[in-house]
Structure 1
Amino acid sequence: MREIAFGAVFSLVMAIGVFLTAAWPVPGRPVAAYFRAGTSAAQVAGAVAQAGGNLLQFGATPALVISLGDRPDYAAQLYQSGAWLVIDGELARLCASEAWQART
């Protein structure tokens, strides 16, 4: 039983690690930022501007946004502005293509 539990936990940790590696934002390319649920579009736009980026597109809710920043530390600035998660924008579009199409 221990071997099964160890294998399950190890597999989960590896899957999360692979996802985070693939989703790591690349400087100079669009990023997807997830903010707290219930955050208004104006608040998200302000946070993106505060981080030094340009807003490109909202997702299914205003809390999900695609933006672009020129600075190498743009993802870190988004976290400081209140983002909960910042990932590569193209990966986010692939994972949630229906949500993006519904808003565009």
Structure 2
Amino acid sequence: MREIGFGLAFGIVMALGAFLIAAWPAQGRPVAAFFPAGSSARAMSAAIAEAGGSLIEINAGSAVTITLGEDDGYVTALYRAGAWLVIDASLARLCVGSAKGSGQ
């Protein structure tokens, strides 16, 4: 029974690790910044400006923005400005696109 528990835990850790590697933001490419639920478009725009990036797309309903920043520490600056998750935008678009398409 311990082997099954270990296998499950190991599998979950490996899947999470693979997701984090795939979602790691690359410098100079757009990133998706997820903010706390209920964040206003104005607050998210201010956080992006504070971090030194430019806004590409904003979804105030789900508190997600697509942004671009050229500085080395842009992702860290987004976390300091209030984002709770920053991932590569192409991966985020795949997840959001498949979620929108499943309801049709």
Same fold (TM over 0.5): yes
Measure the CA separation in 2 of the matches of 1:56 and 1:66.
5
User: SS of 1:96's equivalent?
Assistant: helix
2:77 alignment partner in structure 1: 77
2:94 alignment partner in structure 1: 94
Unaligned runs of 5+ in 2: none
Identity %: 54
User: SS of 1:43's equivalent?
Assistant: helix
User: What is the number of equivalent residue pairs in this alignment?
Assistant: 101
Tell me the alpha carbon deviations over residues 20-41 of structure 1, each in whole angstroms, 9 at most, x when there is no partner. Answer: 0010000000000000000000
User: SS of 2:46's equivalent?
Assistant: helix
Unaligned runs of 5+ in 1: none
**What value does the CA root-mean-square deviation take over the aligned residues?**
1.7
TM-score (norm 1): 0.91
Which contiguous aligned blocks of 4+ residues in structure 1 show a shift greater than 4 angstroms?
A: 98-101
